């Protein structure tokens, strides 16, 4: 018998969101891990809010919504609010009931910016990694480090002389007039972006185009390939090595030596000597392009060096996910603090770990 296409409204309807999400859905494990981490940050959340006044968006719901934005490649806060209004899975994950109103996109953005003051990004990542079922997956002896280019939310046309000599009216029709930079010498010393003054002109390698960008850095443990630390710095030639030392130093405070794998861009005498001073074995790829490498047979003869060189490339998988899925190829924010918060919490680093954890926990469960 053919069913009727005509629907009849009901006076009362009860929708149990918990029953709508299947028991084996991967977001169930992710939500449990995220909730445990958010529960550990209750005191930090309380310190950011006043005890009087109108209630704001609960920070736990706000951060769960941002995780969904990274998981499902939602481009903007306005589009995220539309998905929350219509998608039952989104409502369940965030903690909204079926008839709860959805927040205004502008209100959501302003409440999100409040979390910049409390270093919530780093604390959330640490709280996820500190959970017993996650901690047993992480290696404490072997790490890899690398950096990636995060393109700034600024046009090359905004890169103008600092003395104001480039402030001229557009020569063509429309607000996005044509500009010709041919023959003009531009550098970070003489020019700055009017859109994002903290973005710097940077070229990733010889023969590549220069872009207004930041540098994102990540430290990966080698057992399961999870990101254990992440930060962002202005784009310059020494940012990668300085960030690597800052991220590995807290983990080197132990009697037993640890290893750090990296590509040949880290093959610099001062960096290698600093690692050895901290009792860190530099498993760094040798840079022998017209020069002598600082990594010699004392290091390369060990099998552990070959293993580190093979495993360190997995960090590119994390960067690939952050850029293609979590939207970090070209940031939507401006300034080192805001872009860095998005890169570390993003929720790039934390979201990447959460996506991988359900399968890793299942495989490690006897």
How would residue 341 be classed by pLDDT, with cut points 50, 70 and 90?
A: confident
Phi, psi of 213 (to 5 degrees): -155, 175
The two structure tokens encoding residue 47? 């310190």
> How does strand 210-221 pair with strand 200-203?
antiparallel
What would the pLDDT profile of 293-310 be if each residue is shown by its tens digit?
999 888 899 999 999 999
pLDDT of residue 263: 92
Check whether 204 has a pLDDT greater than 90.
no
Q: What digits encode the pLDDT tens for the residues 51-79?
A: 888 888 888 999 999 999 999 999 889 99
Kindly list the structural domains of the chain, giving each domain's residue range(s) and its CATH number in brackets, ordered by start: 17-118 (no CATH), 139-152+213-344 (3.30.420.10)
User: Mean pLDDT, to the nearest integer, of 155-161?
Assistant: 86
The span from the CA of 122 to the CA of 263, in Å, is 25
Pair 213, 199: CB distance under 8 Å: yes
Q: Are 152 and 159 in contact (CB under 8 A)?
A: no
Which residue stretches of the chain are H helix? 17-20, 26-40, 42-48, 59-71, 77-86, 88-94, 105-114, 120-129, 132-135, 239-248, 269-277, 297-300, 303-311, 315-324, 336-344, 348-364
Q: Nearest 5°: phi and psi at 192?
A: -155, 150
Mean pLDDT of the chain: 87
Of 241-245, 247-251, 334-338, minimum mean pLDDT range:
334-338
């Amino acid at each position: 018998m053919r069913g009727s296409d005509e629907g009849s409204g009901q006076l009362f309807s009860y929708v149990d969101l918990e029953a709508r999400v299947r028991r084996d859905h991967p977001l169930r494990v992710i939500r449990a891990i995220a909730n445990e981490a958010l529960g550990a940050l209750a005191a930090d959340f309380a310190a950011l809010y006043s005890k009087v006044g109108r209630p704001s968006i609960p920070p736990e719901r706000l951060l769960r919504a941002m995780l969904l934005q990274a998981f499902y490649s939602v481009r903007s806060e306005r589009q995220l609010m539309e998905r929350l209004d219509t998608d039952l899975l989104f409502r369940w994950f965030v903690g909204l009931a079926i008839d709860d109103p959805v927040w205004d996109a502008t209100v959501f953005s302003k409440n999100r910016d409040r979390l910049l003051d409390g270093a919530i990004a780093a604390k959330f990542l640490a709280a996820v990694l500190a959970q017993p079922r996650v901690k047993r997956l992480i290696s404490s002896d072997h790490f890899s480090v690398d950096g990636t280019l995060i393109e700034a939310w600024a046009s090359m046309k905004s890169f103008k002389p600092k003395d104001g000599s480039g402030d001229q009216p557009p020569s063509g029709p429309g607000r996005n007039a044509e500009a010709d930079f041919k023959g003009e010498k531009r550098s970070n010393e003489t020019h700055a972006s009017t859109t994002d003054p903290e973005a710097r002109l940077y070229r990733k390698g010889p023969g590549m185009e220069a872009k207004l960008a930041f540098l994102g850095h990540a430290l990966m443990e080698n057992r399961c390939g999870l990101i254990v630390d992440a930060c962002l710095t202005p784009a310059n030639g020494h940012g990668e090595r300085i960030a690597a030392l800052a991220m590995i130093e807290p983990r080197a405070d132990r009697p037993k030596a640890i290893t750090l794998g990296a590509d040949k861009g880290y093959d610099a005498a001062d960096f290698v000597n600093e690692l050895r001073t901290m009792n860190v074995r530099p498993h760094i790829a040798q840079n022998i392009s017209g020069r002598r490498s600082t990594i010699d047979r004392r290091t390369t003869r060990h099998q552990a060096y070959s293993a580190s060189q093979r495993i360190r490339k997995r960090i590119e998988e994390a960067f690939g996910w952050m850029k293609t899925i979590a939207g970090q190829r070209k940031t939507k924010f401006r300034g080192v603090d805001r872009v860095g918060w998005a890169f570390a919490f993003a929720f790039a680093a934390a979201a990447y770990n959460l996506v991988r954890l359900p399968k890793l926990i299942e495989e490690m469960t006897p």
